Amino acid sequence: MNGRELVDSVLQRANEHPEKLEGFNSDYVVDLTGEGGGKFRLRIADRKVAIVDDEGTPPKAAVTLAASDFGALIQERVSAMALFMQGKIRLQGDMGEAFRLESLFRS
């Protein structure tokens, strides 16, 4: 799967379970590098998440990692903390919010 397909699968699962989106209310950036990567701005509001094009306000957090590592993360073969400790994930902004995003990425 390419980056867009991976992100779309995460959004679909999250929107099917809006309780997972409780407490989120901001923009976040997921930047997938390498083959099949892409940069995606996610807006979470009113218990819904979508990819948006506008950049009206600064994102609360940004996460950068390889598309292949993102695939492993959403398939629960690795944790965000393990990727962070290995230097395979970079976080900007509110680190707590960035780590909270992991709950969206997992099934």
How far is Cα 29 from Cα 19, in angstroms, rounded to an integer?
21
Contact 29, 40 (CB under 8 A): yes
pTM: 0.90
Q: pLDDT tens, position by position, for the chain (107 residues)?
A: 899 999 999 999 999 999 989 988 899 999 999 999 999 999 999 999 999 987 778 899 999 999 999 999 999 999 999 999 999 999 999 988 888 888 887 76
pLDDT at 107: 65
pLDDT at 54: 75
How far is Cα 2 from Cα 82, in angstroms, rounded to an integer?
22
Task: Identify the structural domains of the chain with CATH numbers, from first to last.
Answer: 3-105 (3.30.1050.10)
CA 25, 57, 97, 40 torsion: positive or negative? positive
